[in-house]
Structure 1
Amino acid sequence: MNHQVLFPIIELLEKNNIKYALGGSGLLYYLNLIGSVNDWDITVECPKDKLVKAINGYDWEEQRSGDYPFASQYRLSIGSHNIDFIGSFAFYAEDEVLKLPVSVYGNWDGINLSSPEIWYIAYFLMGRKEKARLILSYLKENKVKVNELLIRDLLKKDSLNNEIRQEFKLLIQ
């Protein structure tokens, strides 16, 4: 899949001042950790009605959201473009809800990319251990790119898994 399909959508998000970041397999592809993109996962921080208004010209539909381990507020999809919007990205962890911020790592042809640290947590909590391991290896090999401030903020959350907590501590030593 070509990331250029996202350009008009990103333009709408930015025009409507919606904070967003591309994650999932799109991020893994950008980081050269996988060879192809499954779909485009875009995390957003805005009320659902604001996103709906922004993407009104597209044939979108609401997907199920909030089923364990997911605790995000909503999920909207544009099937024709293989895009999933995840509103207020969150997971059930350690008997609490772990909210993951929209944190921007960098830019890919004008598209905000999510911090790998966020998707390491997400994949770990989804049980997708191989993808979590790929991201953790990337972070260990590219310590200069690790977002220490983000990790320090995440370490303050009681709901952060102990194994993730230990790996993050090693990254910022």
Structure 2
Amino acid sequence: MINHQELFPIVEKLEEHRIKYALGGSGLLYFLGLTDSVNDWDITVDCPKEALLKAISEYEWIEQPSGDGLFASEYRISLRSLKIDFIGCFALRSEAGVVHLPVSPMENWDGIRVSSPEVWYIAYDLMGRQAKAHMLLNYLKSNKQKVNSNLLSDLFKITGLTCELSQQLRSLDVHA
């Protein structure tokens, strides 16, 4: 099992360089208590690739394929030693077009900004990872007080969402 405290030095570098980021993927699921293990850390960032590379210059990194097939993010950088994947300008393709997902932190986990589950619900659904998408959707439906209505309003405006995804998001809106 990997420990989230291993992320502290990386988080410090991101914040020092004023890079907007959020921990997502299985790290988010673990934080929410929806899984009991994390294989790697997915961190979405909203910055040019050069800015990220400057922030992590002390680490050995490799660039992974991105922007192909289902994935439409601008870049993906991995720190294999820490099992971290940085996803730059997170985006996925749907049958309705490219879906650009915001870096939208929900709260802090020991100082680490954790992504909003609404964003990763969309991501997992578009990736075809239905079990994880359903876990997040059920979490949001069971915790309506934690649903971010302002974020939902922004997500409703995203182009490329399928009708089903849009309907599921609307079912979460406490103001609807």
Equivalent residue runs for 1:28-67 within 5 Å: 28-67=29-68
Map 1:58-77 onto structure 2 (within 5 A): 58-77=59-78
Task: Give the Cα separation in 1 of the matches to 2:28 and 2:19.
Answer: 19
Matching residue of 1:24: 25
Q: Distance in 2 between matches of 1:54 and 1:158?
A: 31
Describe the superposition over 1:63-111 as per-residue Cα deviations: whole angstroms up to 9, x where unpaired. 0001221100000000000000000000112342110010010000000
Q: Structure 2: which 5+ residue stretches go unaligned?
A: none
Q: For the aligned residues, what is the CA RMSD?
A: 0.8
Unaligned runs of 5+ in 1: none
Q: Which residue of 1 aligns with 2:142?
A: 141
Provide the C-alpha distance between the structure 2 equivalents of 1:68 and 1:40, rounded to a whole number of angstroms.
22
Residue 167 (str. 1) matches residue 137 (str. 2): no
3-state DSSP class of the match of 1:169?
Answer: helix
The structure 1 segments of at least 4 consecutive aligned residues displaced by more than 3 Å after TM superposition are none
Instruction: Report 1:46-125 matches (<5 A).
Output: 46-125=47-126
Aligned 8 A contact 2:41 2:83 in 1:
yes
Cα displacement (A) at 1:38: 1.3
How far apart, CA to CA, are the structure 1 residues paired with 2:75 and 2:42? 13
Give 1:120's aligned amino acid.
Answer: Y
